[in-house]
Amino acid sequence: MTPPSVLIVGSGIIGAGFAYAAAQRYLPTRVISSLPVNSGGTATANSWAWINANTDNDRSYFDLRHASMQLWQRWMQIVPDLVASSSGGFVWDMDPETLRAFAACHEEWGYPVELLSADAIAAKLPCLCDVPALAAYVPTEMAIEPGDAVSALLAAGAIEPEQRHVHSLMIDQDRVYGVMTDDGPCTADEIILASGNGTPALLESVGAAIQMTPTTGLLVKTQPLPKFLPHLLTAPDYHVRQTCTGQLLIGGTFNHHQTPDAGQSQQDAATELAARVECALHCPASLEVASFSLGQRVIPKGGRPRIGRIQRSDGREIAGLYLAVMHSGISNAAAVADHGIAEIVTGAPSPLLTPFRPGSGAIHESGSRTG
Ligand SMILES: Cc1cc2nc3c(=O)[nH]c(=O)nc-3n(C[C@H](O)[C@H](O)[C@H](O)COP(=O)(O)OP(=O)(O)OC[C@H]3O[C@@H](n4cnc5c(N)ncnc54)[C@H](O)[C@@H]3O)c2cc1C
């Protein structure tokens, strides 16, 4: 059987993941994106990039994220330059009872979560000024530098993204067969929409819809410091990790919409966030804000990923079109791409992805805590 050619719209982490998974199966693959790789206009470039399966899960979402964590580990062994920049996640942004319930439930599901008391936390995190009484620690959680990861996956698949804006999808009866770009039409057997918040406009062109509820997240980058923080920390009023260049990458709470308070400038909000972390940690030098970003999360209505074939408003399924739109895309990308490409090639549904179909009713009204 001739392998299907795929055309991926989007070169964020989801597009790059699909491109790599397609290349692993020797599919003729193109990636088209209106923005360059690691452009500040994408969610990927503005991500805290914590790879985890931590809290806010039902069983099916946990299984997807946990499988993805394991696949990321495998990819890091075989993809040149794909590396974790921090490892081991500490979380104490909930009350002790909730933390214990989370740990008990996730441990039963196979998550390697440890509950640590103050002494054990202090021993692992000598940089903490105020040590919490209890924290959950997951040694297998990690972070990547998302721009570097996208570049590594595309390079491993020998794929050079083409920078073009896609205006619409091209459809003949119920089969999508291409996209219309600035430079004219491009055709393929399968079009994969890894187009983040640009997806609703593209679906509209074929009479289909997805509702998105994007929110904004502020992240602050400091000037580089000597390495002192190898782990990821999620405290009640900040989350922080140190990047591979030594910069601290700091976010606020995980409540959605981390925009500056009314009347506060973005610069002031960024300075305030850095000051909060400076009070919380013994840093090797004082913190200077180098830059900050306000990223738009890609959140389908209901909070859960939407992956797979989509139907038109009249209920007819569209062939040749595969959707992959989600928050927590850094955590999910590996498993979603690997199983998604397998579904496209074999036609057999993946049980891991089945709960997340576009139009599926079994979606919980919650987001996850990844950034
Ligand atoms: C502040 C913040 C913190 C986060 N923290 C975490 C975290 O800790 N862990 C985690 O797992 N997730 C986190 N996320 C979520 C994660 O970053 C996103 O889910 C993920 O990056 C989405 O990737 P994507 O490739 O789908 O979208 P994007 O990165 O937005 O990429 C979309 C791509 O589609 C292209 N595109 C769109 N429309 C068109 C068009 N019409 N024509 C051509 N190209 C088009 C764009 O050019 C771009 O290349 C965070 C997000 C934010 C904003």
Q: What CATH number should be reported for the domain holding residue 135?
A: 3.30.9.10
State the closest ligand 1 atom to the C-alpha of 331, by its place in the atom list counted from 1: 11
Q: Which domain-ending residue is among 281, 296, 311?
A: 296
> Do 159 and 278 belong to one domain?
no
Q: Is residue 65 part of a domain?
A: no
Question: Ligand 1: distance of its center to the CA of 42 in Å?
Answer: 5
* CB half-sphere exposure, 220, CA atoms < 13 A: 28
pLDDT digits (tens, 9 = 90+) for 204-238: 999 999 999 999 999 999 999 999 999 999 999 99
- Claim to verify: residue 96 and residue 112 sit in the same structural domain: yes
Give the total number of structural domains in the chain. 2
User: Which of helix, strand or coil describes residue 178?
Assistant: strand
- Contact between residue 15 and residue 338 where contact means Cβ atoms under 8 Å apart: no
Q: What is the pLDDT of residues 104-154, one digit of tens each?
A: 999 999 999 999 999 999 999 999 999 999 999 999 999 999 999 999 999
Sort 235 into a burial class: Cβ within 10 Å, 0-12 / 13-18 / 19+.
Answer: buried
Residue 365 lies inside a defined structural domain of this protein: no
Give the domain range for residue 221.
87-139+215-296
Last residue of some domain: 265, 296, 327?
296
Question: Range with the lowest mean pLDDT among 78-92, 106-120, 280-294, 303-317?
Answer: 303-317
| Cα atoms in the Cβ-side hemisphere of radius 13 Å centred on 106 | 24
CA dist 368 and 366 (Å) reads: 7
Q: Ligand 1 atom 44: the closest Cα is on which residue? A: 33
Indicate if 228 and 119 belong to the same structural domain. yes
Q: Where residue 320 sits, what CATH number does that domain have?
A: 3.50.50.60
Which residue, by CA, sits nearest to atom 15 of ligand 1?
328
CA quadruple 92, 95, 98, 101: dihedral sign: positive
**228 shares its domain with 285:** yes
Buried b (16+ CB within 10 A) or exposed e, 338-365: bbbbbbbbeeeebebbebbbbeeeebee
Same domain, yes or no: 219 and 345: no
Mean pLDDT computed over 193-214: 96
Q: 43 C-alpha vs ligand 1 centroid, how far in Å?
A: 3
Closest ligand 1 atom number to CA of residue 44? 21
Average pLDDT value for the chain:
93
Give strand pairing partners of 322. 192
Nearest atom, ligand 1, residue 35 CA = 47
* 116 shares its domain with 236: yes
Q: In this predicted complex, what is the ipTM?
A: 0.99
pLDDT greater at residue 161 or residue 311: 161
Give the list of residues 6+ apart from residue 52 with CB closer than 8 angstroms, or none.
65, 69, 89, 138, 141, 331, 370
